[in-house]
Amino acid sequence: MSNTTKKSIKLIFTLSASMMLLLAPSFVSANSDSLQNSQLDSIIYDENGNLKVGFVEQNPWENNFKDVNFNALNLKNSSTNIIEYEQFTEEKAKEVFHMQQTQQEKLNNSIVETDNSLENLLQQELITPYSTKSDLRSQFTALAVFAGTIDLVTAGNYLNHSLQDYPSDRVNNVGSSHTAKLSVTTMYTEISTPMAAEIRAAKTSGKSYVGGSGSYATAWSNVGWDFYLTYGKISYTWSAQNTGDTWLVNITISDRYDYTSIKPADIRSGLLSKYVDLANNYAAEAQNVGAIVPYNITNYFRQYYTP
């Protein structure tokens, strides 16, 4: 999540801090993952019934990519946001497929391994007194509260989660409301369409497994504001197994919730972009003194496709 276009504080940070501090703290604990799938329409459409920017009407796997002309699809140019893509060999795809299955089963059985990688970071000497760290957390907590009141529930929730010494990694399994919302973003369609094309090619060549991995640069235009202010450049891995006429597809989308400072020379000149970059740097300072603590986000998806 280290690119320059991310996180929950970027735009709303320019709003009045005094206004945010007056808000009830109950919003801080609001969990975006409690949203039911039946409420997806309010995520996808605005009050006038128009499709919001960054979303599609349906997860493409659910309609079996009926609107995609695979014969005309140029995989190399299917999305300029897809970068660093690697297509797996059949052997590696099989290995990844079974690994993803195991990870999902562990979550279903409430067996989640703890990541202690943050301890080294937290053992480093802070460069400012604890009071400064505490003050920064108060400010960002108020910001997270405010985000929850203006339909940036996920962004506020994930920012708030970082404001503790040992934040746990966030994992959203198959079927969670968080993954359901991600599955109707333009981003999810853009990474999924080439997957379906590769499955079709694998079927033709008689393969039983196929898969790959890559990265994707998020933007307001491909994930909407709430996810854009939560995720940066995401990483994804996918694998599929031929189960007969239908292929079982596992997809993992992951990111690191953290901030990287932008050099003064690289701060953009546009008014809105400048606010975004300056807010990002303020968050990076808060991270440097331990007020914001990085953690990992992992999302699991399971899809079915009949090529």
Q: How many helices (H) and strands (E) does the chain have?
A: 10, 6
**Predicted pLDDT at 295:** 97
Summarised one tens digit per residue, pLDDT across range 195-204 is: 999 999 999 9
Instruction: Strands of 18-68 (E only): list them.
Output: none
**Predicted pLDDT at 288:** 92
With 80 as the cut, is the pLDDT of residue 173 above it?
yes
Query: Please, how many CA atoms are within 13 Å of residue 175, restricted to the half-sphere of its CB?
Result: 4
Quickly state the pLDDT bin for 169 (edges 50, 70, 90): very high
**Predicted pLDDT at 77:** 66
Tokens of 301: 């998806």
Average pLDDT on 90-112 reads 86
**Predicted pLDDT at 157:** 93
This prediction has a pTM of 0.81
With 90 as the cut, is the pLDDT of residue 271 above it?
no
- Report yes or no: 159 and 9 within 8 Å, Cβ to Cβ: yes
Rounded to whole angstroms, the Cα distance separating 299 from 255 reads 9
Summarised one tens digit per residue, pLDDT across range 186-240 is: 999 999 999 999 999 999 999 999 999 999 999 889 999 899 889 989 999 999 9
Quickly state the pLDDT bin for 6 (edges 50, 70, 90): very low
